């Protein structure tokens, strides 16, 4: 439990009271059954002159700074440790994807996911859950190192500065993180366990070294991942990237391919994300087939080209082979006549990323190797080509090309005038088009050879594939094979700013020796010069005293590994460390992991849908296998929030003569110049936008992802300063469904700010003549009417349902509807106001805390019970009853369904429209049908005409 001395509590009291006319009760807030309640006494807290119209709506500046201080000082959102926590209560672990603390700080796109997780965390706390809601930093990596090189500032300094900026910004938004659990991947106490995991991988043969083709950037002096290369240049800096073989550390993620695939089915993840992972893993069943290479006389050499295919049934249609430019056989089978062309082609291909090479719509290129191979099915000699649409990292790095039944092969064959042989006839013979590749179902044709004794004519494609595989294995030309697109994880980086790899290499033999676990952490040395060496060696090679070491067991001289781990490493397991961040003895305590795991809700961008999530799942499964974790998967539910686009830009087009051109008449935008149009000059016309002064000119309307290069980044600090943190939180949730992309619009910000101001004034009252607000509230201690209870419990039911379904925008709409209804009431019962404030609290916690305090509560509302809807109040128990006088309808009254005749008549006599017909008259008879009609018959001489 938390314990503070009387002096420290007095200091907090002094700190709060030293703020303009603020004071706080000096006890710490603690959850029920764990800590005594904290109390906050507010005296004249809002008697501060307002400086802006926004601030006059309600005093958010004063409110937000006060409650942020209170939460931080009292550790309101601290998740208790095992000794303090009641593990009989349900747990809720909600996590944001690890942010990278860049120098630019947050933009308004970042808080979208953070606000969603905070609403869920606050909601679950109020429902009685133990909540784990932490924050930390993924702070190693290339951007910090490049910035350090450019500025001469050590990356540790810039990283710490950036973290401080991020932390301040996040706290200014009132997120209920447990800051006592804050971690950074750059701290030795953290990366000690990243290194420990690497050693476990090494023990189990899941980490190894291999010579592999990599994306090498000479200027940056490092290997880049595929996603860090765009159009042949580095994403950061735009430097030329080439493909070259290097000895690298690899992680054998392929050993877990089947488990990674199979376990997706049980996850509550977006189906699109699961499908992306399935495609990335890319499991396929087919065959490996050996094609003997022929010499210039047509005789078989000792060399063979092994290909992998998912369509062994089409072997008779293979009219040429294609090798990847990096294929190992090229050095031994290329002819002298073609060697220059082959070398030139391979050099060009080395500058392209895998993504560029495999784009479906790109023009196919290739070069003939000068050699041929024998198709084992029919004995024909077929040419061996080299083309970059085949990757060395997939299958065997070679394919048999069947141009009649594969689109890429067909395009290539047409361009280079290679044979096309149809071997699959569609069942519907009228469907076949010889001008296109056919890849559908059908019957085998042109698929027999007496020389090979293989005949599959007339078979369906599946039966034919089975027959071919049997023949391959019988003749030793091949075998059945399951293959994956997934490649082993390239784990080494030629960088300084990363986790050191805990391995040494013995002098002389070069044998790799893992560090003892007791030697961890292997701390990254302080380097003043961390620029690329220019030799291909990593910057760590410059740390001579650190690199030279000895084997602790044999005493032999050795050198440390100078590559570092990739940025992905620290983010693979950080969710586990949050469960037990201060443990120096083990990665995570078993009891804590068993209670908190797995993460219940994990929120982040869709850009991490494959690599980060796949790598984290791989490490988790390894840790599961060695008994560190108790669950097979790390994240139960994943939610990808949409991106926030910059405000809509309006553009008008002009031709070369400067004439305005309407957008719908333009085919090619490049032929026209474009000018920005100010929003006040734009008019909405149906689904389009036009010039206000010339409605015949339709405009282009576009919104772009926020980026510094486009100049459309919105700083959340500016929004908080002008509107308040609660408004920003509320607006980002109100823009639309969490998972959809949304366009920033200041007018929407104004709308939610008005809603908060109306909520404030409903409970506190209108501002006084000097612009300040009275103390306390304008609520009354009276019973609530049925109408008030109906609107309140309708709001409770809707807000609860929408938070649970992460439909936060419609939850806000429900609260807006409630406020609209409440403004029509003459009085606001205190009990109604209290319940509404609790509903508002997860969304707008600062104003909710302040209102809760003004309603007379001395405790924070963070652990108050979230309201529950009483369905009895939601039943429509009143009906509209027509009232007739002598058979003529004179008005209507609202009555309960079970209203008695006497009460119905009494209400009719009180109704202003009906009573004028009854005043001073004698009632002769009453006809009452409950819920249907009341007909009052008057004495004839008493009937009023009119």
Q: What is the pLDDT of residues 400-436, one digit of tens each?
A: 999 999 999 999 999 999 999 999 999 876 556 668 8
In sequence order, which residues have a C-beta less than 8 Å from that of residue 133 and are 6 or more positions away? 77, 79, 94, 95, 117, 118, 121, 176, 177, 178
pLDDT for position 835: 98
Q: Is the peptide bond before 521 cis (omega within 30 degrees of 0)?
A: yes
859-882: average pLDDT = 89
d(CA 678, CA 54): 24
**In angstroms, what CA-CA distances link 79 with 72, 89, 126?**
13, 13, 14
pLDDT for position 268: 94
> Which percentage of the chain shows pLDDT scores above 70?
90
d(CA 223, CA 244): 10
Angle, CA 432 vertex, CA 427 and CA 433 arms, to 5°:
175
pLDDT for position 877: 67
As given in the structure block, the two tokens for residue 653 are: 């087009």
Question: Does the pLDDT at position 35 exceed 80?
Answer: no
pLDDT tens for each residue of 569-585: 999 999 999 999 999 99
Q: What is the DSSP letter of 847?
A: H
Closest-CA residue to 837 (of 858, 821, 819): 819
pLDDT for position 72: 96
pLDDT for position 55: 58
Task: Identify the residue with better confidence: 406 or 231.
Answer: 406
> Which DSSP string corresponds to 741-784?
-EE--HHHHHHHHHHHHHHHHHHH-S--TTS---SS---B--PP
Long-range contacts of 687-691 (CB under 8 A, 24+ apart): 688/663, 688/664, 689/650, 691/652, 691/660
d(CA 599, CA 620): 12
d(CA 623, CA 586): 13
Q: How confident is the model at residue 31 (pLDDT cuts 50, 70, 90)?
A: very low
302-308: average pLDDT = 94
> Which percentage of the chain shows pLDDT scores above 90?
59
pLDDT for position 36: 33
Return the minimum-mean-pLDDT range out of 70-79, 86-95, 333-342.
Answer: 333-342
d(CA 561, CA 559): 7
3-class SS shares of the chain: helix, strand, coil, % to 5:
35, 20, 40
Report the chain's C-alpha Rg in angstroms.
36
Question: Does the pLDDT at position 699 exceed 90?
Answer: no
d(CA 472, CA 505): 44
- Helix boundaries (H) for 127-154: 142-151
Query: Around 39, how many Cα atoms within 13 Å sit in the side-chain half-sphere?
Result: 8
pLDDT for position 543: 93
735-752: average pLDDT = 88
Question: Does the pLDDT at position 9 exceed 50?
Answer: no
Q: Name the helix (H) or strand (E) containing 358.
A: helix 354-358
Return the minimum-mean-pLDDT range out of 140-154, 257-271, 498-512, 664-678.
Answer: 664-678
Q: Name the helix (H) or strand (E) containing 850.
A: helix 845-854
d(CA 375, CA 242): 34
Closest-CA residue to 357 (of 229, 477, 261): 229
Name residue 400's beta-bridge partners.
321
Return the minimum-mean-pLDDT range out of 169-173, 211-215, 437-441.
Answer: 211-215
pLDDT tens for each residue of 887-922: 999 988 888 878 889 989 988 888 888 888 888 888
Provide the greatest CA pair distance for the chain. 129
pLDDT for position 709: 58
Q: What is the DSSP letter of 237?
A: T
d(CA 872, CA 505): 75
pLDDT for position 615: 96
As given in the structure block, the two tokens for residue 22 are: 């603020």
As given in the structure block, the two tokens for residue 605 are: 């961008």
Q: Phi and psi for 618 in degrees, rounded to 5?
A: -60, -50
d(CA 897, CA 929): 11
d(CA 119, CA 123): 6
Task: Identify the residue with better confidence: 650 or 671.
Answer: 650
Provide the 3-class DSSP secondary structure of residue 473: helix
In sequence order, which residues have a C-beta less than 8 Å from that of residue 659 and are 6 or more positions away? none
Distance of CA 290 to the CA centre of its chain: 44
Q: How confident is the model at residue 643 (pLDDT cuts 50, 70, 90)?
A: confident
Return the minimum-mean-pLDDT range out of 259-263, 457-461, 770-774, 796-800.
Answer: 770-774
As given in the structure block, the two tokens for residue 289 are: 């087939």
d(CA 71, CA 630): 34
Question: Does the pLDDT at position 673 exceed 80?
Answer: yes
pLDDT for position 940: 75
pLDDT for position 32: 33
pLDDT for position 928: 94
620-638: average pLDDT = 98
Name residue 705's beta-bridge partners.
645
pLDDT for position 708: 60
Name residue 927's beta-bridge partners.
935
Query: Around 860, how many Cα atoms within 13 Å sit in the side-chain half-sphere?
Result: 34
Question: Does the pLDDT at position 945 exceed 80?
Answer: no
Question: Does the pLDDT at position 74 exceed 50?
Answer: yes
Provide the 3-class DSSP secondary structure of residue 332: helix
d(CA 632, CA 598): 9
Provide the 3-class DSSP secondary structure of residue 69: helix
Q: Name the helix (H) or strand (E) containing 640.
A: strand 638-640
pLDDT for position 130: 97
209-224: average pLDDT = 82
State the virtual CA torsion across 566, 572, 573, 578 in degrees, nearest 10: 90
Task: Identify the residue with better confidence: 20 or 160.
Answer: 160
Q: At what angle do helices 60-74 and 155-172 cross, to 10 degrees?
A: 120
pLDDT for position 575: 98
d(CA 381, CA 568): 47
User: Are the C-beta atoms of residues 921 and 890 closer than 8 Å to each other?
Assistant: no
As given in the structure block, the two tokens for residue 426 are: 């569609």
- Helix boundaries (H) for 498-647: 544-547, 568-571, 574-577, 590-596, 611-625
pLDDT for position 79: 95
d(CA 865, CA 842): 12
Question: Does the pLDDT at position 858 exceed 50?
Answer: yes
pLDDT for position 710: 64
Q: Tell me what the pLDDT averaged over the chain comes to.
A: 87
């Amino acid at each position: 439990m938390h314990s503070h001395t009387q002096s420290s509590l007095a200091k907090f009291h002094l700190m709060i009271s030293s703020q303009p006319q603020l004071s706080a009760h000096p006890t710490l807030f603690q959850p029920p059954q764990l800590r005594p309640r904290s109390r906050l006494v507010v005296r004249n807290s809002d008697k501060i002159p307002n400086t802006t119209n926004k601030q006059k709506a309600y005093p958010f500046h004063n409110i937000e700074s006060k409650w942020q201080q209170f939460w931080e000082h009292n550790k309101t959102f601290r998740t208790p440790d095992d000794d303090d926590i009641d593990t009989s209560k349900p747990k809720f672990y909600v996590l944001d994807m690890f942010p990278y603390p860049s120098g630019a700080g947050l933009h308004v796109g970042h808080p979208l996911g953070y606000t969603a997780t905070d609403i869920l965390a606050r909601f679950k706390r109020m429902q009685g859950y133990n909540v784990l809601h932490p924050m930390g930093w993924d702070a190693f990596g290339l951007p910090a190192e490049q910035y350090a090189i450019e500025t001469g500032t050590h990356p540790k300094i810039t990283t710490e500065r950036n973290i401080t900026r991020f932390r301040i910004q996040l706290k200014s938004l009132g997120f209920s993180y447990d800051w006592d659990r804050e971690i950074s991947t750059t701290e030795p106490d953290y990366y000690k366990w990243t290194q420990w995991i690497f050693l476990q991988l090494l023990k189990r043969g899941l980490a190894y070294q291999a010579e592999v083709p990599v994306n090498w950037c000479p200027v940056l002096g490092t290997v880049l991942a595929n996603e860090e290369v765009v159009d042949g240049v580095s994403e950061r800096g735009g430097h030329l990237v080439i493909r070259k073989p290097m000895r690298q550390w690899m992680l054998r993620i392929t050993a877990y391919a089947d488990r990674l695939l199979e376990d997706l089915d049980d996850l509550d993840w977006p189906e699109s994300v699961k499908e992306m992972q399935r495609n990335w893993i890319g499991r396929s069943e087919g065959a490996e087939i050996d094609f003997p290479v022929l010499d210039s006389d047509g005789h078989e050499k000792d060399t063979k080209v092994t290909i992998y295919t998912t369509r062994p049934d089409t072997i008779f249609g293979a009219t040429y082979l294609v090798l990847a430019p990096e294929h190992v056989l090229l050095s031994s089978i290329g002819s002298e006549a073609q060697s220059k062309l082959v070398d030139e082609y391979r050099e060009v291909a080395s500058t392209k990323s895998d993504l560029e090479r495999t784009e479906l719509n790109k023009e196919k290129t290739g070069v003939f190797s000068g050699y041929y191979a024998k198709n084992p099915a029919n004995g024909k000699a077929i040419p061996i080509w080299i083309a970059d649409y085949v990757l060395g990292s997939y299958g065997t790095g070679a394919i048999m090309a069947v141009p009649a039944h594969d689109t890429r092969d067909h395009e290539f064959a047409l361009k280079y005038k290679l044979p096309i042989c149809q071997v699959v006839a569609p069942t519907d013979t009228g469907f076949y088009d010889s001008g296109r590749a056919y890849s559908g179902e059908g019957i085998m044709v042109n698929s027999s050879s007496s020389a090979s004794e293989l005949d599959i004519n007339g078979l369906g494609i599946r039966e034919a594939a089975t027959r071919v595989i049997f023949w391959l294995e019988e003749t030793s030309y091949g075998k059945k094979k399951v293959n994956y697109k997934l490649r082993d994880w390239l784990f080494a980086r030629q960088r300084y700013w990363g986790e050191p790899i805990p391995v040494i290499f013995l002098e002389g033999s070069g044998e790799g020796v893992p560090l003892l676990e007791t030697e961890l952490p292997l701390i990254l040395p302080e380097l003043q010069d961390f620029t690329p060496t220019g030799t291909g060696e990593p910057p760590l090679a410059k740390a001579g005293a650190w690199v030279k070491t000895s084997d602790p067991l044999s005493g032999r001289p050795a050198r440390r590994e100078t590559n570092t781990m990739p940025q992905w490493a620290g983010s693979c397991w950080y969710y586990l460390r949050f469960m037990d961040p201060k443990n120096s003895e083990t990665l995570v305590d078993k009891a804590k992991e068993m209670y908190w795991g797995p993460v219940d809700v994990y929120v982040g961008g869709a850009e991490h849908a494959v690599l980060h999530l796949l790598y984290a799942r791989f490490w988790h499964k390894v840790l599961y296998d060695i008994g560190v974790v108790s669950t097979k998967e790390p994240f139960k539910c994943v939610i990808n929030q949409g991106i926030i686009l910059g405000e809509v830009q309006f553009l008008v087009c002009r031709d070369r003569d400067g004439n305005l051109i309407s957008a719908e008449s333009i085919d090619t935008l490049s032929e026209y110049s474009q000018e920005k149009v100010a929003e006040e000059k734009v008019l909405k016309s149906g689904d389009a936008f036009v010039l206000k002064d010339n409605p015949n000119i339709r405009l282009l309307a576009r919104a772009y992802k926020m980026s510094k290069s486009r100049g459309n980044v919105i700083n959340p600090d500016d929004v908080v300063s002008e509107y308040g943190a609660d408004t920003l939180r509320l607006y980002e949730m109100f823009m639309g469904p969490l998972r959809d992309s949304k366009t920033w619009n200041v007018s929407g910000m104004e709308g939610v700010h008005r809603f908060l101001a109306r909520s404030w004034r409903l409970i506190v009252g209108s501002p006084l003549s000097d612009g300040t607000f009275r103390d306390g509230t304008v609520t009354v201690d009276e019973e609530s009417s049925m109408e008030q209870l109906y609107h309140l419990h309708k709001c409770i039911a809707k807000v609860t349902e929408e938070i649970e379904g992460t439909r936060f925008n419609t939850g806000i709409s429900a609260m807006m509807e409630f406020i609209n209804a409440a403004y029509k009431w003459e009085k606001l019962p205190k009990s109604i106001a209290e319940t509404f404030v609790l509903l508002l609290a997860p969304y707008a916690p600062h104003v909710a805390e302040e209102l809760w305090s003004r309603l007379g509560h001395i405790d924070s509302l963070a652990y108050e019970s979230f309201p529950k809807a009483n369905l009895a109040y939601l039943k429509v128990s009143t009906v509209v009853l027509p009232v007739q006088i002598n058979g003529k309808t004179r008005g209507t009254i609202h009555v309960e369904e079970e209203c008695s005749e006497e009460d119905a008549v009494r209400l009719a006599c009180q109704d202003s429209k009906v009573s004028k017909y009854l005043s001073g008259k004698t009632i002769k008879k009453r006809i009452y049908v409950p819920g249907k009609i009341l007909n009052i018959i008057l004495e004839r001489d008493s009937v009023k005409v009119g």
